[in-house]
Chain A
Amino acid sequence: SAVISQKPSRDICQRGTSLTIQCQVDSQVTMMFWYRQQPGQSLTLIATANQGSEATYESGFVIDKFPISRPNLTFSTLTVSNMSPEDSSIYLCSVSLAGTYEQYFGPGTRLTVT
Chain B
Amino acid sequence: QQQVKQSPQSLIVQKGGISIINCAYENTAFDYFPWYQQFPGKGPALLIAIRPDVSEKKEGRFTISFNKSAKQFSLHIMDSQPGDSATYFCAASIRGTYKYIFGTGTRLKVLA
Contacts and interface: CB of A to CB of B under 8 A. Distances in A.
Given A43-B89, A103-B34, A103-B46, A48 B104 contact: no
Contact of A108 (B43, B46, B93, B105): B43
Interface in B4-51: 32, 34, 36, 41-46, 49
A107 interface: yes
Contact of B99 (A33, A42, A102, A110): A33
A105 B44 contact: yes
- Tell me if A's interface is mostly helix, strand, loop or mixed: strand
A48 B98 CA distance: 10
Nearest to A44: B102
B49 A102 contact: yes
- Sorting the interface of chain B by its residue count into under 10, 10 to 19, 20 to 34 or 35 or more gives 20 to 34
Contact of B44 (A31, A43, A44, A45): A43
B46 A42 contact: no
A92 B43 contact: yes
A78 B36 CA distance: 23
Contacts of B93: 101
B44 A101 contact: no
A101 B98 CA distance: 6
Interface in B66-99: 89, 93, 98-99
Contact of A42 (B32, B41, B49, B105): B105
Nearest to B31: A101
10 contacts: A41-B104, A42-B103, A42-B104, A92-B43, A101-B49, A101-B98, A102-B34, A103-B98, A105-B44, A106-B43
